Amino acid sequence: MALIALAADKGSPGVTTASVALAAVWPRRVLVAETDPAGGDLVYRSAAAHGGPLNPNTGMLSIAATARRGLVPDQLWDHTQPLSGGLDVLVGLGISEQAAGLAGIWPTLGRAFAQLADSPHAPADVIADCGRISGDSPVVEMFPQAALVLLVARAEPESLARVRDRAAALAAKLHGGPRGAAALATPLIGVILVADPANSAKLVHQVDDMLMAAQTGARVVGTLADDPAGAEQLAGRRRGRLDKSMLIRSARKVTVDLYQSYGAAWSGPVAGTAGAGR
């Protein structure tokens, strides 16, 4: 299986941008699912493959009724839309009030996402943009089905402190308590830092030490460049060679490192998808 859940503790570290950037260079076919209970952003920032806007009613909103009757992984494709560039997305809710319609079916969604890689018809990994999470966030009910839970954080001290505390809380919830640095638990909890590439190596070392001291069992799995221009290009609001942007170059390194470290534990080969710089 390969469900990769991205989330943040507080603020706006760029979970949606990180999710789309990783998906754009993912080495296998991938589906981006906007599962943030507070609502999605892609319908406002990205164009559909036909050049017009994405349909806000096709996605998490339309899948709610289907999932209550049970959900076969291949049914996910009935609710997806292709972005300009070819990336498949499951568009998020419009407003947080619509999340009530998903009550009780988050585990069902998590299983469908995790099992999509084993589909005999249209296999794919799923990168889930879970937005900001807290102790009572319903989307956390999907996490036991994930291969990786990746917390996105910026380099500010308060953001790093929050990601440490959130990693510890998730370890307690998902693994039953604090874990040593050598402990291997499923899902793995990792951290993606959004930072200036010039300072990233030192920052990774410092954050890993902090995570280890707190016995979170988490570690930094990679850094994404803090690249506002690249983020604008990714959203289609700015022209330029997206594949040459610092954002996409750093996302490519993160995906390579993830697959080198964990890919063998996931499902067999899945057909590739269109992405930046392919």
pLDDT value of position 241: 83
Q: Quickly state the pLDDT bin for 177 (edges 50, 70, 90).
A: low
The answer on pLDDT for 193 being more than 90 is: yes
The answer on pLDDT for 274 being more than 50 is: no
Element (H, E) at 153: strand 148-154
| Model pLDDT for residues 48-97, shown as the tens digit of each residue | 888 889 999 999 999 988 888 889 999 999 999 999 888 999 999 998 88
pLDDT over 90 for what percent of the chain?
A: 60
Q: CB-based burial of residue 101 (10 Å sphere; 0-12 exposed, 13-18 middle, 19+ buried)?
A: middle
The mean pLDDT value of the chain amounts to: 88
Chain centre to alpha carbon of residue 55: 21
| Model pLDDT for residues 239-256, shown as the tens digit of each residue | 878 888 999 999 999 999
Tokens 């954050």 label which residue?
207
pLDDT value of position 51: 85
Dist CA 219 CA 207 (whole Å)? 8
Q: Quickly state the pLDDT bin for 178 (edges 50, 70, 90).
A: low
pLDDT value of position 276: 61
Q: Quickly state the pLDDT bin for 237 (edges 50, 70, 90).
A: confident
**Side-by-side strand order, sheet with 188-195:** 81-82, 88-90, 30-34, 125-132, 3-8, 148-154, 188-195, 219-225
The answer on pLDDT for 263 being more than 60 is: yes
6-15, 148-157, 164-173, range with the lowest pLDDT: 6-15
- Across residues 129-138, what is the average pLDDT? 90
Dist CA 54 CA 84 (whole Å)? 10
Residue whose C-alpha is closest to residue 98's, from 171, 39, 158: 39
The answer on pLDDT for 182 being more than 50 is: no
The answer on pLDDT for 266 being more than 80 is: no
pLDDT value of position 181: 41
Q: Quickly state the pLDDT bin for 47 (edges 50, 70, 90).
A: confident
Helices H / strands E in the chain, number of each: 8, 8
Q: Specify the pTM.
A: 0.91
Residue whose C-alpha is closest to residue 174's, from 185, 162, 166: 185
Where helices occur in the chain by DSSP H, the ranges are 15-24, 42-45, 60-68, 106-115, 157-175, 200-213, 228-234, 246-262
pLDDT value of position 7: 96
pLDDT value of position 260: 87
Are the beta carbons of 136 and 38 closer than 8 angstroms?
A: no
Does domain 3-263 bear CATH number 3.40.50.300?
Answer: yes
Report domain extents, the chain.
Answer: 3-263
Q: Quickly state the pLDDT bin for 277 (edges 50, 70, 90).
A: very low
List the Cα angle 206/187/111 in 5-degree steps: 145
pLDDT value of position 180: 47
Coil vs helix vs strand at 57: coil
